[in-house]
Structure 1
Amino acid sequence: MTDDRNESLEERRRRLSAALAERKAEDAAEAKRDAQSEESRKGMALGFKISSEFISAVAVGAVLGFLLDRFAGTSPWGMIVFLLLGFGAGVLNVLRAVGKVAPSPFAQQEAKDKKRDGS
């Protein structure tokens, strides 16, 4: 009777150990999928941020150029100049966002001020 009981307990321990190992493997796989999807979301967010900054810089340059041409009568030179300035500003924003160019001096000063006030 005790042998049957011990054997049944051993069998239950083996089944529980197998189930626990399977569960841990599933949890590890799920954690890996979550980490990959998090990286994907971060990359997509950065892509949207960069593209919106570039497009908005070009659009603002075009609008300012159009307004200058409209009110000063310098058509099409204001549009050309400000469109090129907007393009340059957009490229600079993209390079700053990906870390290829140092942040602007104003942003650096703000970071120093926040750090000093927070300390």
Structure 2
Amino acid sequence: MQGSGKESLEERLQRLEAELAERRRDEADGDAADEKAAESRKGYAVAVKLSSEFVAAVIVGALLGYLLDRFAGTAPWGMIVLLLLGFCAGVLNVMRSAGMVASPHPVDRMAGRDAGDKANKDSG
């Protein structure tokens, strides 16, 4: 009697280990799917950010061009020039955000301010 009880416990233990292994495998598959979904959401977020930066720059350029034409009477040249400048600014913003173009180094920015400050002091 003890022999059959011990065999049934071993069979049960093997069955439980097989079920545990299957659940762990399913859980690992679920984790991989969650990671893939998170990566996909991150990609969509970056795409929306980049597209909104580009569209905003073009709209601002067009709006400023329209206002310049409206008040200065330079139609259609203000709109054309500032729309093109907005397009270029949008492309530059997207390239900077995507990491394809480096933003100015802080030392270079400080050098530009120092030169501007010296010019202001000399003229004043």
Q: Quickly name the TM-score band, shorter chain normalised.
A: 0.7 to 0.9
TM-score w.r.t. the length of structure 2 is 0.83
Q: Mark the structure with the bigger radius of gyration.
A: 2
What is the match of residue 22 of structure 2? 22
How well do the aligned residues superpose, as a CA RMSD in angstroms?
1.5
Q: Secondary structure at the match of 1:103?
A: coil
Q: Secondary structure at the match of 1:14?
A: helix
Deviation at 1:104, TM superposition (A): 4.1
Identity value in percent: 58
Q: Give the count of matched residue pairs.
A: 108
Describe the shift of the 1:98–1:68 C-alpha distance in structure 2 as closer, same or farther (beyond 3 A). same
Structure 1 residues 11-60: Cα deviation after superposition (integer angstroms, max 9, x where no partner) = 11011101000001001100110111111111111111111100010000
What is the match of residue 101 of structure 2? 101
What is the match of residue 39 of structure 2? 39
Q: Unmatched 5+ residue regions in structure 1?
A: 110-119
- Distance in 2, matches of 1:21 and 1:15, equals 10
Deviation at 1:105, TM superposition (A): 5.0
Residues 1:85 and 2:85 are matched in the alignment: yes
Deviation at 1:79, TM superposition (A): 0.3
What is the match of residue 114 of structure 1? none
What is the match of residue 54 of structure 2? 54
Deviation at 1:8, TM superposition (A): 1.1
One-letter amino acid matched to 1:53? E
Q: Secondary structure at the match of 1:101?
A: coil
Q: Unmatched 5+ residue regions in structure 2?
A: 110-124
